Amino acid sequence: MFYEELMDSHSFPFILCSAEGAPLRRSNFRNRYWRPVWDGSDAEHTRSAEVVQPILPTFTFHEGRHSHSTWLAEDGIPEVARRARLGQKMKGIARVYDHVTPLMRRQILQVLETRWIGSLVALTPSERTKLGEWFPHLHATFRDGQLETAPRAIAISSPLND
């Protein structure tokens, strides 16, 4: 499983941690890692020689939760499964009667994997090369702009791989 591979990559008790092994505080992680990636950097405000173009200026994690829920709704995932995925409870009597089934969990994984593959296909060749350098365990190859997945390409990070 992908998380086990991450945990085995270091001796600290947290998956995402500082160089010293301490947990990353939400604001520190956001400001030091995510904001520079989302907002990019400009030549006037960076000490680095490389200027990074913004990919999602002003984006927040909260917006990401909304997008995630919307994608699941677009893909026909029932509300009870969407709410469970986001750590929310159903309101009213639905909390008593509606439950997430194994089929719903499989559907969530299938629709998210389809979106993941679509995002890989949309990458430029140089972006795909970079992704392969950063995450060589994905084992995905591209031919004529189409994704050709090896059996381990996406499944290595899939919760279905128990």
How much is the pTM? 0.60
CA distances from 140 to 34, 97, 108, 147 (A): 25, 42, 22, 7
Residue 162 confidence class, pLDDT cut points 50, 70, 90: very low
CA distances from 6 to 40, 63, 95, 107 (A): 26, 26, 35, 25
Strand partners, 149: 140
74-121 residue pLDDT tens = 999 999 999 999 888 878 777 777 889 999 999 999 999 888 888 888
Q: What's the chain's average pLDDT?
A: 75
pLDDT at 76: 96
In whole angstroms, give the CA distance from residue 122 to residue 36: 23
57-74 residue pLDDT tens = 888 878 888 899 999 999
- Give one word for 40, left, alpha or beta, with left for phi > 0 and alpha for psi -120 to 50: left
In whole angstroms, give the CA distance from residue 45 to residue 54: 13
Query: What are the structure tokens assigned to 156, written together?
Result: 């290595």
